[in-house]
Amino acid sequence: MEQQKRYYYRLPISTHLGKQFRSLHRECMHAEQAAERFAKKVGAQQYYPAASAFAGGVMCVSFADDARPDEQLWRSCGKDADGIEMWEPRCNKREGSIDYNPSHSPIDTATRLYAKRPAIDGRLHYIELYSDEPQHQSRSTKRGKQCQLSRTARQAIRIERERLLLPTVLTDRFYKLLQVDFLDAKKIEPVTPVFFDFDGYYYLCMAYPCHADGLQLMQQEAFMQRKEDLLRCQRDIEAMNQNTPINA
C-alpha cells in the first residue's frame, strides 16, 4: 500500500463553487444535528452513521453502561471497534421496497406498516416494516400478550421510521461537487476529508486530487498555518466570552 498523499485547497466562498459548497456544508450541519437529536431522544450515548453517509444518518446507536436499553424495543447488532455494543430498533424489515407514487401510497394495517425514505438516486420509496405475532401463548393469555407486543412493536417501528427519515448527505454528493479524481483510489487508504471555513475561504485537505473550477491548490504548510490561525481565533473568542464584566 502506497503512502497516502494529501491535496490541499483553498476555496473562496464568494465564488459559485464556494456558495455551492457552503450550501452543502449547511446541509451537513443540519443532518448531523438531526442525528444528534434523534440519539438524545432515544436516550443513546452515541450514534453510528451509515457507511454511505458523509454527514448525518443513523445506522445504529450505543447506550451508556448504566443505561442499558429496553430489549423489547432494541436488539443488539454487533460491537464497534472499541467493543461497545451497538443497537437497532427491534422490528423486522422486509427485503424489498416500493417505489414512491403519491396516488398509490401503501396503507398501514394492523401488522404491516410502511416508512418512506430517500433512495441513493434521490427518489423516494417505501420500505415495509412489520411485527411478527407470537404463536406460543395459551388461548387464555394470547390476546393480552399480543396486544402488549403490538404496542411495543409499534413503538419500535415508530423509532425505526424516524431513523429512516433522518436527513443524510451522501458522500457521492461531496466528491461530485469537487470533481474528485479517483484514478488511483485502489492503491491508497481512504482518508476522511477535512475542511473548515475561515476569513472568507474554505480550506480543504483531500486524499484525492480535485478538478472543480474555483479550487486553489496550496501547500501543506500554508494549510496548517490557516488551521492554527482559526484555532487561535476561537481561543481568543472563548477567552473574551469568559471575561464577563462585573456589575457595579
Percent of the chain scoring above 70 in pLDDT? 73
DSSP state, residue 247: P
138 lies in some domain: yes
- 112, 131: one domain: yes
Per-residue pLDDT at 237: 87
- 153, 182: one domain: no
- 159, 194: one domain: no
- 95, 160: one domain: yes
Which of 165, 185, 210 terminates a domain? The answer is: 165
* Listed residue (67, 88, 93, 90) closest to 77, CA to CA: 88
Confidence check: pLDDT of 67 > 90: no
Helical spans, DSSP H, in the chain: 16-41, 139-164, 171-178, 220-242
Which pLDDT band, with edges at 50, 70 and 90, does 102 fall under? low
- 160, 95: one domain: yes
- The angle subtended at Cα 60 by Cα 59 and Cα 65, nearest 5°, is 160
191 lies in some domain: yes
Residue 82 contacts residue 48 (beta carbons within 8 Å): no
Which of 119-123, 143-147, 162-166 bottoms out in mean pLDDT, i.e. has the lowest? 143-147
Percent of the chain scoring above 90 in pLDDT? 44
- 151, 184: one domain: no
- 152, 118: one domain: yes
31 lies in some domain: no
- 128, 152: one domain: yes
- 202, 216: one domain: yes
- 192, 220: one domain: yes
Q: Spell out a b/e string for 92-125, using b for 16 or more CB atoms within 10 Å of the CB, else e.
A: ebeeeeeebeeeeebeeeeeebbbebeeeeeeeb
Confidence check: pLDDT of 100 > 70: no
220 lies in some domain: yes
* Calpha distance 28→171 (Å, rounded): 11
Confidence check: pLDDT of 58 > 90: yes
* Domain coverage including residue 141: 91-165
44 lies in some domain: no
Per-residue pLDDT at 145: 43
Which of 165, 183, 216 terminates a domain? The answer is: 165
DSSP 3-state of 26: helix
65 lies in some domain: no
221 lies in some domain: yes
* Calpha distance 188→190 (Å, rounded): 6
Q: Greater confidence, 2 or 176?
A: 176
Per-residue pLDDT at 93: 64
Which of 117, 136, 165 terminates a domain? The answer is: 165
Number of domains present in the structure of the chain:
2
Per-residue pLDDT at 139: 46
Which pLDDT band, with edges at 50, 70 and 90, does 141 fall under? very low
Pairing of strands 124-130, 46-48: unpaired
183 lies in some domain: yes
